[in-house]
Structure 1
Amino acid sequence: MAVDLLRRTGRDLDDLQRRLGDWLRSHGALDGVLAVERTRPAEGAGTANETVLAECRTTRGTRGIVVRLTVPEAAAYLDPDLERQAAALRWVAAHTAVPVPAVYGVDPTGEVLGAPFLVTERVAGFVPPDYPNYNTAGPLHDLPADARRALWQDALDQMCRLHRADVSTVDFLEPGPVPLVRYWERMADWVGERAPLGPLAGVRDWVRAHVPADAPAGLSWGDARLGNMLFAGTRCTAVLDWEMVSLGGPTVDLAWWLMFDRNHSTDAGVDRLPGLGTRDETLDRWRAGTGLPVVDLRWHEVFALYQLALLRAGAFADRARAGLPVPGDDDPRSVRRLLDRIDARLEDPA
């Protein structure tokens, strides 16, 4: 994960610590920076970014910070844009009650640390893990059912708050689902340079031909799932990972949430933990919390599965090229399984 990525980049953390301290003193949003200390790789932070934790000592005390560096050879997304992510975090903090980490600085040039980076506040809390599956182990699993229910409700309510937001002041994203679809068409071309798209090419054509004309407008977090939220007890303390933020509409997030709920339960061959909402309960609470209708859900769910299939096809191609094992077709994580789910959803008009 992040530790392996650090080994691959060969980054000197002592040097990073010194350079980052110098940069924060002159460019960051923190006042009175004295030094950056206790720099270390973040365990289990994934491979799309190189994630480093540190302490920033200032004249007003010490603050925990998170540094996310883009690594081109490990990029999961085409043209990652840290400035857009920073703009999204700042906008959400200023215009909604949704908790997000404070932004302390962003450098898109790569000249300071050898890679573009984003520095944010480190928020306390636990993340329901992907590995091991949060339905089988971990802090969420260990909560009693009524606490899990309260946590699930708060998590979904945070997403609803985001989806109710007036986005008329968002000037850093293009409105509507069409720009989002176009981005994923470029993603498909990029992934296709490393892995054959096969049946995904046909899904791409279907997605393009059926873009909804009347889906609700609004902000999409982009990677909406329990695994991208921090919790203290049953309360969400931060909504994380804004790489895929767009104005593609709230239903983009709803479909992504439903997909990952199934990934961690039905598709993984395990039961959803008592207290976590079912599909119907999720739809009902989302409708009530946003005041929006659920329309064109089939298109949005196919689109979500298509995006995840492209991400996995690219990641698995990279693993194979590095001589690492790749999930077989019978593995729940395989692209084949996602294609089967796409076929089933296309046959279901609901």
Structure 2
Amino acid sequence: MPVPQQRDRDVTQRRLAAWLTDRLPGAADPRVEVELPERSGFSHETLLVDAVWPTAGGPHRERLVVRVASPTYQVMPVSRLHEEYQVLRALAATDVPVPVVYGYEPDPQVLGAPFYVMSREDGWVPPDLPSYHREGPVAALDEGSREALWWSGVDILHRVHRLDPRRLGLRSLADSATAPVALADQLDFYEEHLGYFGCADSPQVRDALRLLRGALPPQPADPGLLWGDARLGNIVFRGVRAAAVLDWEMVSLGPGEADLAWYLYLDRHLSEGIGAERLTGLPDRAATVARYEELTGRSVAPHLGWYEVFAGLRFAVITARVGRLLVEHSIVACEDDVPLARNAARLLSRTLAAVAG
């Protein structure tokens, strides 16, 4: 759900130019042009930046993205911007395609809040609004291309999950305040913050918490890296191949089932969850699980249902928070005007009913 941005373009351009001078290779007094999107998503403010400077061979241009921590529109209780930057920097040496990061700035005096800068990757992203199941570039593909697109996303999951967080220097993610490793601790986190998210009275959320606590699956002794917000809408594609993996603010350590379940659940939200017919050509749940098990060499089916309920719980509380923010900042009159949160709650209800049945 997009929100309006307010920022002084001239001040931003001047301060970014000074900051980038010491961080872009070969940059000397770059001229910076900042595009302020009329609306940006929650969690972080996103600035699109062109930096140009003279070289012996003529003007050199770098297309950049600046991610600024939002002091106003914050979905999670704690910002994880620095962790996101650390993950992107660590993944640069792996086969997981990510943007190049040029630096992190903790001082809010520069742009009003901490931020980091990364490259802007060429390609296209499957849209959430309107859902890619209804219209847009995915709907325009033939069935074979849709299938290839989906499998490219599943391959990204496999690439992420086979990484060793210790070798990447990311073991500190185990101490994350918003995504602790132990599943029971994660459930504690969400339950303790239901008031913050705005869903303390949600029967679906309460039922999901009870079900999840009563059937905790076994956890790996050595948890792997999880993307967190694993979905087609967070991948930049060139053709139908993944070219860059975005949005790591939900990164954590744990079993791959958590990412796989989120990947399946968010696609389900964008089809069944909003009353849209799922596109033909996209592999179904069973085929996706089989492909993931083939890639990883291990069975995930026995406990995947638990992780899908967990995905539904997290999605419901996050969208409830989005609804609360929209009301608090007078973007909508009341939370009943936010179909995102209503649809998330309804899909969680159907998921719980299927498990109970």
TM-score by length of 1: 0.88
Aligned to 2:200: 197
Letter in 2 for 1:24: L
Q: How far apart in 2 are the matches of 1:124 and 1:333?
A: 32
**Residue 316 of structure 2 is aligned to residue 316 of structure 1:** no
> CA offset at residue 179 of structure 1?
4.7
Q: 1:251 aligns with which of 246, 251, 257?
A: 257
Q: Distance in 1 between matches of 2:338 and 2:114?
A: 38
Q: Residue 207 of structure 1 aligns with which residue?
A: 212
Q: Is the 8 A contact 1:21 1:33 kept in 2?
A: no
Contact 1:152/1:277 (<8 A) preserved: yes
1:24 aligns to what? 20
For normalisation by structure 2, the TM-score amounts to 0.87
Indicate which of 11, 15, 24 corresponds to 1:15.
11
Asked whether 1:307 is paired with 2:303, we answer: no
Q: Which residue of 1 aligns with 2:77?
A: 78
The alignment yields a C-alpha RMSD, in angstroms, of 2.6
Which range moves more in the overlay, 186-195 or 61-70?
A: 186-195
Is the 8 Å Cα contact of residues 153 and 242 (structure 2) preserved in structure 1?
yes
Note the C-alpha offset of 1:110.
1.4
| Alpha-carbon distance in structure 1 between the residues aligned to 2:12 and 2:339 | 39
Report the CA distance between 1:301 and its aligned residue: 1.1
1:224 paired residue among 221, 230, 243: 230
Unaligned runs of 5+ in 2: none
Amino acid at match of 1:64: R
Q: CA deviation at 1:245?
A: 0.3
Cα distance in 1, alignment partners of residues 225 and 354 from structure 2: 25
Q: Secondary structure at the match of 1:340?
A: helix
With over 3 angstroms needed to count, the CA separation of the structure-2 counterparts of 1:303 and 1:293, relative to structure 1, is: same
Partners of 1:181 and 1:34 in 2: CA distance:
51
For the structure 1 residues 17 and 297, does the alpha-carbon distance in structure 2 shift closer, same or farther, using more than 3 Å as the test? same
Displacement of 1:51: 0.6
Among 129, 135, 138, the residue aligned to 2:136: 138
Equivalent position amino acid for 1:321 in 2:
E
| CA deviation profile, 1:248-305 (whole Å, cap 9, x unmatched) | 2211100101101111122222222122111111111111122232042122111111
CA contact (8 A) 1:185 1:204 kept: no
CA distance in 2, matches of 1:232, 1:309: 31
Q: 2-side partners of 1:44 and 1:283: how far apart?
A: 36
Output the CA distance in 2 between the equivalents of 1:17 and 1:329.
36
**Corresponding residue number in structure 2 for 1:102:** 100
Query: For residue 269 of structure 2, what is the amino acid of its counterpart?
Result: N
Over residues 125-144 of structure 1, what are the superposed CA-to-partner deviations in whole Å (9 max), with x where a residue is unaligned?
A: 11100111101111111122
Shift of 1:228: 0.5
Q: State which drifts further: 200-209 or 176-185.
A: 176-185
Alpha-carbon separation, structure 1, partners of 2:184 and 2:38: 33
For residue 343 of structure 1, report the CA deviation from its aligned partner.
Answer: 2.0
Q: Give the alignment of 1:116-135 within 5 angstroms.
A: 116-135=114-133
Q: Which stretch of structure 1 is more off in the superposition, 255-264 or 140-149?
A: 140-149
TM-superposed deviation, 1:241: 0.2
Q: Report the more deviating stretch, 234-243 or 196-205.
A: 196-205
Partner Cα distance (2:31, 2:298) in 1: 45
Q: Is the 8 A contact 2:42 2:73 kept in 1?
A: yes
Cα separation, 1, equivalents of 2:129 and 2:322: 17
Task: Name the stretch that deviates more: 246-255 or 120-129.
Answer: 246-255
Give how far 1:31 is off.
3.5
Offset of residue 80 of structure 1: 1.3
Deviates more, 1:43-52 or 1:261-270: 43-52
Whether the 8 Å CA contact 2:97–2:245 is kept in 1: the answer is yes
Deviations 1:70-92 (A, max 9, x none): 11220112211222111111222
Q: 2:66 is matched by which residue type in structure 1?
A: V
Distance 1:121 1:246 in 2: 23
Distance verdict in 2 for CA 1:115–1:330, change over 3 Å = closer
Corresponding residue of 1:337: 346
Query: Does 1:89 find its partner at 2:88?
Result: yes
Taking a change above 3 Å as real, the CA distance of residues 108 and 70 of structure 1, as seen in their structure-2 partners, is same
| Aligned-residue identity in percent | 37
Cα distance, 1:173–1:209 mapped onto 2, change above 3 Å? farther
Alignment of 1:146-165 (within 5 A): 146-165=144-163
State how far apart, in whole Å, the 1-side matches of 2:262 and 2:17 are.
Answer: 38
